[in-house]
Structure 1
Amino acid sequence: MDKLIYIPADQIHEHPDNPRKDLGDLTELAESIRQNGIMQNLTVIPGYWDNKRGFHEEEYTLLIGHRRYSAGKMAAVTEYPCRIITGMSYKEQVGTMLTENMQRVDLTIPEQAEGFQMMLDLGDTVEDIANKTGFSESTVRHRVNIAKLDKSTLKEKNDDEGFQLTLKDLYELEKIKSVEKRNEILRASYSSTDLAARARSAVADEKRKAKETAIIEELEAAGIKKAPKEAENGIWTGSWKTVAECDLNKDDDIEIPDTEGKYWITQYQRIRIVEKVIKKQTRAEERREKEEKERKARKKELKEITRVSTERRKQLILDIIAGKAAKPNEELVKNMCWVLLVEMGGVYKSLFIKYFTEKNDWDCNDEEKAEANEKIQKLSIMEQMLILLHMRMSEKEPWDYNLRYDKEDGGILLECYRVFKMFGWFFDTEEEEQVLDGTHQYYRKDEDND
């Protein structure tokens, strides 16, 4: 049964689930109450919830009139005229507060959106909400979409006067299917205009991707597979050609031709159906192709010979550090190393890291670097110089692209091996030395020019 009585202010408690969090500026309302008293009663229910959500049957909980109640406290009101409603379920309580709040003209858009969402959560339909609040069903749907946005970000942008957030902007944002993308754009935008532009761009991107996915599925179903990597550049070099294409920004369809030998590729917001151009080689092209294969095979053999030498040289350095190798004059070794290192250049601490870890400096974790540095600290200056010499040697190849002997680099490498010969180095095979002095059979001679 509903009753109207005066209730002491200290016996009235605000509802913990009042959907309206921001009551706005209460100064004028408080002054009006101070002069004229409470002109309209509050609506309360028996009992209240404490801070731990424990329910107490005594006293009362405020249902309608939160602004009047708070303004009254500012005006030092000691008791309020209240209508007591009994027998309301929790759903009915929240629904009543929501419906009452939705009628207010000063309710913010985020508050409206959150309120509509709560009404949906309580079981109301969009049609129910429209009937209760007087808003159109389309407006309700728009507000519900706004409720899906990140609340703190939405509040930040809404409170920022410089941003000038409008409903029109939020409707643009709503057109993006992905809520995650909506929030990403809302966070990144610096103004209302920027938000709208980003939203339109994202919508267009979603449409493109949806169209792209649909077309690719159609092509795959027809037996047309994705083109190999080489086709990306082959389109421009003439080794691949386009037989059909579709602009993903337009309503164009793509006509699927004979599928044999056809592939699909995406480029610059287009889907192309492509095929490889079969060109008959000329005799000159056949000769060049044969020569290139021979060059690669020869280079592979030369690199294998130098790799073996490099591994043996590294082992010799480990023997030197362990005291297992010959012991020449240390000052002479250092002087020879110094001259060669100055001539070759490119000496960095990272070479030590690479020597001990066999990885580049940027690929090593802190533990690996620390372990390598610890080993370096234990080395003598001569041993450090030998490692640097070895690493710089490993980076040099005594041949050019066409496998012509590089006399300068070959000569430097031979001089470097003079240092290691002082510790007992010897060439295990005749080929090792031939690679360095330019007499190996795999080198091209100057007269071999085309």
Structure 2
Amino acid sequence: METTNQNNLDEIISQDTEKINNDEQTKSEIVYIEVDKLHPHDANPRKNTGDVTELADSIKKNGILQNLTVVPATGYWYGDYTVIIGHRRLAAAKQAGLKTVPCVIREMGQKEQIATMLLENMQRSDLTVYEQAQGIQMMLDLGETVETVAEKTGFSESTVRRRTRLLKLDSDVFKETEGRQITMLEYDKLFEIKDDKKRNEVLKSIGTNNFNNEILRAVQAEKTTEIRKKFFEDLNEYAEEVKDTTGLVYIGWFDNTKNITDYSIPECTKLYYRSYGSGVGVSLYRSTTADEKQAEQEKTEQENKIKEERDSKIRKLKELAERTYTLRRNFVKDFTLNEKATSKNLQNFIITALLEDNDFDIEKFIEMLDVEYDEDDLDEMQGVREVYERSNKTLQNKMVIAGYVLYNDRKTNDCYDYTGNHRENESLQRLYDGLITIGYEMSDEELAMMDGTHELYTTEDE
């Protein structure tokens, strides 16, 4: 390519030299122009002349060996000259302290100026690929075509297109990454990504060990997005998206509209889907058939009936617990020693029934009776016996009430769980056993409540 560029450049120079020689009005000789009257071309593809220290040292020692090519300036700098070839030499000459530099004054149109600068820089490998792209774009903006730019620069048409598309990249990020020795093939990979914003994000990783992975992730994400878009376009032709799937029949996970025939879908039903996240695939549902609706309605009615019956039974079980509590409470409230409720039986009720319960508080029990006793010499069982033996009948009656209260019997002392099934209640059974010893007689309903045979309890069939 360098040979082709050189040939094109030689051809332009040769043609221009011939033109100059034949034009008496154009100065073809080398003239020395003051450096202050020479100005960089604002369209120079090379945006940075770089470090010219070494070149400046050479100029100090040997002078400028190759003249600059300039054109008459226009506009603000009218009367001065604009540099076409030799921007670095001009910068080095200024650094070396030269007041004038050798120049050839040429007449060129804007297109020719840009083409000449582009070729001169490229054949010296002075331009970055981004600067090459900017130079090519300038030529295109001036009316050149890809074909004519390729012809004048020696680049292939493919290279011209590949260069100019680099201008789609973020220039600031591009400049930050240029020092990583990046190949053109790596830049080409970026354009596998279609989204400009994502492409510039991945550009940040070019020339690093993460670049290929970032490219692959971005490309796959775009492919997934495209597949997802097409998938939903096809899906929406025969299914409707929903958020609430209540009352619908789940068909299965669905990620390919071509496989819709794989599912057994009854006629006269409508399809629905619910999507999740950003991937491809949905949960597919359908409406219910008339038979399914009838079956579902019957099932719901049956479930509601069972629930109503269960709630009714639980409500009645609660009433039963409250009623049996009232029976026990009234017995204790009206308790007096009698033939059945002897002192011995009363003592057994207190000791064997109440003290076996872990919740029974002996100290509170004694406090309620207001009887003095020696705590240090007697354990709890002996303390109760001694208290009982030292008590008169009034106190003994009071002991039944005190013991019962401390036992914490309550309305919710029941024998069923939340479903209405029978549940054993050992503490309540102990209380009944104790009350029976002092004359309490359990009703048939209480016996059925305790042993689980009451008609209100839910059976396994229910």
- TM-score, with length taken from structure 2: 0.52
Structure 1 distance, partners of 2:156, 2:163, is 11
Retained in 2: the 8 A contact 1:95–1:119?
yes
Offset at residue 448 of structure 1 (A)? 9.7
Read off the aligned partner of 1:21 and give its amino acid letter.
Answer: K
Hey, what does 1:133 align to over in structure 2?
153
Offset at residue 284 of structure 1 (A)? 5.8
Instruction: Name the % identity.
Output: 39
Read off the aligned partner of 2:251 and give its amino acid letter.
Answer: K
Retained in 2: the 8 A contact 1:262–1:273?
no
Offset at residue 70 of structure 1 (A)? 1.0
Query: What are the within-5 Å matches in structure 2 for residues 36-47 of structure 1?
Result: 36-47=62-73
Hey, what does 2:36 align to over in structure 1?
10
Hey, what does 1:180 align to over in structure 2?
197
Retained in 1: the 8 A contact 2:31–2:102?
yes
* 1:358-405 C-alpha deviation (Å, 9 max, x unpaired): xxxxxxxxxxxxxxxxxxxxxxxxxxxxxxxxxxxxxxxxxxxx9xxx
Offset at residue 118 of structure 1 (A)? 2.2
Cα pair distance change 1:192/1:130, threshold 3 Å: farther
Read off the aligned partner of 2:66 and give its amino acid letter.
Answer: Q
Structure 2 distance, partners of 1:67, 1:191, is 29
Query: What are the within-5 Å matches in structure 2 for residues 248-267 of structure 1?
Result: 254-255=258-259, 257=261, 261-264=270-273, 266=275
**Rg larger for:** 2
Structure 2 distance, partners of 1:292, 1:24, is 88
**Among residues 214, 230, 255, which one is paired with 1:245 in the alignment?**
255
Secondary structure in structure 2 of the residue aligned to 1:193:
coil
Secondary structure in structure 1 of the residue aligned to 2:233:
helix
Read off the aligned partner of 2:50 and give its amino acid letter.
Answer: G
Unpaired segments ≥5 residues, structure 1: 49-53, 247-252, 294-401, 403-445
1:29 correspondence with 2:55: yes
Retained in 2: the 8 A contact 1:98–1:119?
no
Structure 1 distance, partners of 2:119, 2:64, is 22
Secondary structure in structure 2 of the residue aligned to 1:80:
strand
Secondary structure in structure 2 of the residue aligned to 1:15:
coil
1:101 correspondence with 2:121: yes
Query: What are the within-5 Å matches in structure 2 for residues 12-411 of structure 1?
Result: 12-47=38-73, 54-86=75-107, 88-159=108-179, 161=180, 165-187=182-204, 189=205, 192-220=208-236, 223-230=237-244, 239-242=249-252, 245-246=255-256, 254-255=258-259, 257=261, 261-264=270-273, 266=275, 269-272=279-282, 274-276=284-286, 278=288, 280-281=295-296, 285-288=300-303
Structure 1 distance, partners of 2:305, 2:143, is 78
Cα pair distance change 1:272/1:116, threshold 3 Å: same
Cα pair distance change 1:145/1:30, threshold 3 Å: same
Offset at residue 32 of structure 1 (A)? 2.1
Retained in 2: the 8 A contact 1:173–1:196?
no
Secondary structure in structure 1 of the residue aligned to 2:194:
coil
Cα pair distance change 1:130/1:81, threshold 3 Å: same
Unpaired segments ≥5 residues, structure 2: 1-25, 309-417, 419-455
Which fold has the larger relative contact order, with Cα–Cα distance below 8 Å and residues 6 or more apart in sequence?
A: 2
Secondary structure in structure 1 of the residue aligned to 2:83:
strand
Structure 2 distance, partners of 1:32, 1:289, is 102
Offset at residue 62 of structure 1 (A)? 0.8
Number of residue pairs aligned between Structure 1 and Structure 2: 281
Structure 2 distance, partners of 1:94, 1:291, is 91
Cα pair distance change 1:102/1:254, threshold 3 Å: farther
Retained in 1: the 8 A contact 2:238–2:271?
yes
Offset at residue 45 of structure 1 (A)? 0.8
* 1:256-296 C-alpha deviation (Å, 9 max, x unpaired): 54895234555573335833374543966544467899xxx
Secondary structure in structure 2 of the residue aligned to 1:275:
strand
Read off the aligned partner of 1:84 and give its amino acid letter.
Answer: I
CA RMSD of aligned residues (A): 3.8
Retained in 1: the 8 A contact 2:69–2:85?
yes
Structure 1 distance, partners of 2:216, 2:158, is 20
Offset at residue 155 of structure 1 (A)? 0.7
- TM-score, with length taken from structure 1: 0.53
Offset at residue 66 of structure 1 (A)? 0.5
Retained in 1: the 8 A contact 2:186–2:206?
no
Structure 2 distance, partners of 1:85, 1:292, is 103
